[in-house]
Structure 1
Amino acid sequence: MLKLLLLLLWTWTSSALVRVPLKRVRSIRSQLRAEGVLEEFLKEHRPDMFNRRYAQCYPPGTPSLRLGRSSEKIYNFMDAQYYGEINLGSPQQNFSVVFDTGSSDLWVPSTYCVSQACALHRRFKAFESTSFHHDGRTFGIHYGSGHLLGVMARDTLKIGSLTAQNQEFGESVYESGSAFVRAKFDGVLGMGYPSLAEILGNPVFDNMLAQKEVDEPIFSFYLSRKTSSGTPQGELLLGGKDEALYSGPINWNPVTSKGYWQIKMESIAVQGANSLCPRGCQAIVDTGTSLIAGPTVDILNIHQLIGATPTNIGEFLIDCVRLSSLPHVTFVLGGTEYTLTAEQYVRKETLGDKEFCFSGFQAVDMLSPEGPLWILGDVFLTEFYSIFDRGHDRVGFAFAKHPT
């Protein structure tokens, strides 16, 4: 009888939680650098030049093409490294997506897409799905490294064993810019609040909550440092958290504005001194970008304090030999200190037979009614297990367990 009860308990808990394996791949930035074309790409994708080149490809007055829109949304996906699998339609069609807490829309390439990027990725075939519903509306989303135009649709979405019926999503029919060509993922699944959506309708997690697909209104991320296939590269857990993947207590931070997963950050210190934003500042917790970003003046201060030198394309290099002597950078969130060592905030890349160390900090000026925003991307989230609680509108952090 006890064995039966334990089996029933295990079956209930395992069905209530869905694990989505995440793969870690080389970022688009790393690919471009290895091919020696990063500088040319960055010049071509400056917002002003990019818009002049592609504006004629879009209907006149497309709102998302206005200058400045890219700074309102995700900065870019050039550094995105983690993605997982979803299914759309009946029968199921498989797609790889970035599970992105910094946006709220779901889109995948359409079979009718005319861009080179779509030809290199899996495309949604609406005519093969018996559960497909045409919407008729069009949409445009402007990311920092590309712009896409598409049409709206509704269909059955599956993530693991969870199902969202009549899920609104976008079918992209035109993806401009070469960033999408090089992306290892097909599309993006936003996990931010509904107010952040460009596409009208419920975001995926909201739909799952409304349809009672998850027992708890929580999802959590574990991002591994490893890229080898023999170890977990990352995991999204829908419906709860996994105590085996973190240690110590969870520190909860209330959401201060329900668009991004935006929280208050008390301060940032370099080696315990030189505090940045001493009166507090706002930060968004963003799985869709790999770097830690902040206002230009503050990021320049950090780079001076850690001895980073600028390149001609706006990146910052650090002498790999000096890593052990570089200062720690500490973020204070909810009264708890989260400290990164140089080994943790530096990105190492091998070009030819040489190893280069790049700063994991990037200047991005994003404004909000509460002031300039910082972005806590994967450089931060790799070290700290993150829990997103829609029931209490809060974000939790705990120390991630990484195998030695």
Structure 2
Amino acid sequence: MLYLLLLVSYVVAGSIYQTPLVKIESMRMEMIRKGTWAEFVKKKNAMRASLVSNANQTVFPHPIYDYQDTEYLAKITIGTPGQSFHVVLDTGSANLWIPDNICVNGRRGACRITTCDRGLVCEVLCHDKSCCEDDVDNPDEDNPCKGKSGFDSTQSTSYAKITPKKYFEIVYGTGFAKGFLGNDTVRFGEEGNNKTLVVLGTVFGQAVQIGDPFANNPINGILGLGFRGLAQAGVTPPLQRAIDLKLVDPIFTVYMKQLGAKAKGQDGGAFTYGGLDSVNCGQEIAYVDLTRPLYWQFKMEAFSAGHLSIRKGWEVISDTGTSFMGVPTAIADLVADSYGGQYDEMFEIYTVDCNATVTFEMTIGGKQYKIERKNLVLEEDKDSCMIAMTPLSSVGFGPQWILGAPFIRQYRNIHDMRNNTIGFAEPK
């Protein structure tokens, strides 16, 4: 069902906070530019096969998402005083995790004694019980945490250990993060800024190991903005905790700037918590019901691109964690063909002539939404371009499409957790 509301008529009771976004070049685009993407694709596919074959009931699979296409990061701070991390604000997951200091620096010298060996020996005999949290040896040159910021709980006066100790492990499409849970103050932005949402007593993951795909990029953790039921290890997501504490109303707005795939370090937009982004949203918002309030998932009735037009009905999600549109493989192939493009299997991209006027039109809640060429055609170099589209294999359940940054740049996304709806507004 479609709901139309005017921005001026939407009143919220709580405070409104905002987190700025920073635009980065996605790992995919950077590696394509450097000529290392094809090799990464081989490793990625081998890793994906390994993760599937080795999975067991203690591992929580997160099957849809990779973060190699992330283009927007936000700064958060954890602890007192605050320790800063640039994280992905991800509507497709619901956990917050950051690298622990252990992941970055390895086991401390004081922990490298037999009475502090991992397991029961450590719990019983080790004088320094913090050693029992160490889960990796000294990092080597290939450690994915190398160069990242690590959280040091000993430097935070507001940190609280969780007893008995609880662990988490999240498996992504091409990687993983695992470690233990801690409790501290989380700020959605800079410490001391009156626009920063501050959430005391937040449970978050302290990763002691992360997968290779997180290496050599500026991603320093994931902050999930999905629903409580999607969270792993039974934790309350940070934003949901803020809502439970009545710090904000259960609504947030996403605004992403269109800056080009290679832009780095620029102002990339903002997430607004507790209300609407009245500065960047147009007056009319069209809301649709969520079909599965775990993800931000809803129905799309029809799709067209070039001479292609399909009216079938699909489950789709809005996902802030990817810079591409996830499209069912058969449809993606037809889209590329419609614009004279083709699939490059080695690079797993759809190439297209740089002058192609690629546009997508989608029908959601009976209303048409057009994504313009500027948000869909990415330039590899002056003579080579690609469509911001990646093929998705059908697995028979869950979302069939992923509406990533091309859609979110075109339309402001308003996430209403009280009414289980999502709204779309033209930019101002």
Following superposition, the deviation at residue 16 of structure 1 comes to 1.6
CA deviation map 1:238-297 (0-9, x unaligned): 1111222132411101111011000111110124x6333x23111101001111112211
Q: What is the rounded CA distance, in whole Å, between the counterparts of 1:355 and 1:107 in structure 2?
A: 40
Question: For 1:256-335, what aligned pairs fall within 5 Å after superposition?
Answer: 256-271=291-306, 274-276=308-310, 278-313=311-346, 314-320=348-354, 322-323=355-356, 326=357, 328-335=359-366
CA contact under 8 A between 1:47 and 1:144: conserved in structure 2? no
User: Contact between 1:62 and 1:140, CA under 8 Å: does it hold in 2?
Assistant: no
- Paired residue total: 369
Secondary structure in 2 matching 1:297: helix
Determine whether 1:157 maps to 2:157. Answer: no
Structure 1 alignment gaps of length 5 or more: 1-12
Question: Contact 2:320/2:405 (CA < 8 Å) preserved in 1?
Answer: yes
RMSD over aligned Cα atoms: 2.5
Q: Is residue 106–residue 187 contact of structure 1 (8 Å, CA) maintained in 2?
A: yes
Q: 1:64: Cα distance to partner?
A: 3.0
Cα distance, 1:372–1:104 mapped onto 2, change above 3 Å: closer
Does residue 137 in structure 1 map to residue 136 in structure 2?
Answer: no
Partner of 1:6: none
Q: Does 1:19 align with 2:18?
A: yes
Q: How far does the alpha carbon of each residue in 1:64-122 deviate from its partner, in whole angstroms, 9 at most, with x for none?
A: 38xxx453x42x00010101111111221111111000000100000011452323111
Tell me the CA shift for residue 35 of structure 1: 1.8
Instruction: Give 1:182 shift.
Output: 2.1
- Hey, what's the Cα distance between the residues in 2 that align with 1:197 and 1:304? 39
For 1:225, the equivalent position in structure 2 comes to 258
- Matches for 1:165-176 after TM superposition, within 5 Å: 165-176=200-211
Confirm whether residue 363 of structure 1 aligns to residue 353 of structure 2.
no
Structure 1 residue 47 displacement after superposition:
5.0
Counterpart secondary structure, 1:117: coil
Change (3 A) 1:213 1:367: farther
Which of these residues, 246, 270, 275, is aligned with residue 212 of structure 1? Answer: 246
Determine if the alignment matches structure 1 residue 249 to structure 2 residue 284.
yes
Higher relative contact order (CA 8 A, sep 6+): 2
TM (normalized to structure 2)? 0.80
**1:37-116 superposed matches below 5 A:** 37-47=36-46, 51=50, 61=56, 63-64=58-59, 69-71=61-63, 73-74=64-65, 76-113=66-103, 114=106, 116=143
- Hey, what's the Cα distance between the residues in 2 that align with 1:94 and 1:221? 22
Match of 1:340 in 2: 371
Q: Output the CA distance in 2 between the equivalents of 1:398 and 1:52.
A: 39
Query: For the residues of structure 2 that align with 1:103 and 1:48, how far apart are their CA atoms?
Result: 21
Runs of at least 5 residues in structure 2 that lack an aligned partner in the other structure = 1-11, 107-138, 190-195
**Counterpart in the other structure of 2:219:** 185
How far off is 1:365 after superposition?
Answer: 2.4
Please give the alpha-carbon distance, in whole angstroms, between the structure 2 residues aligned to 1:368 and 1:134.
41
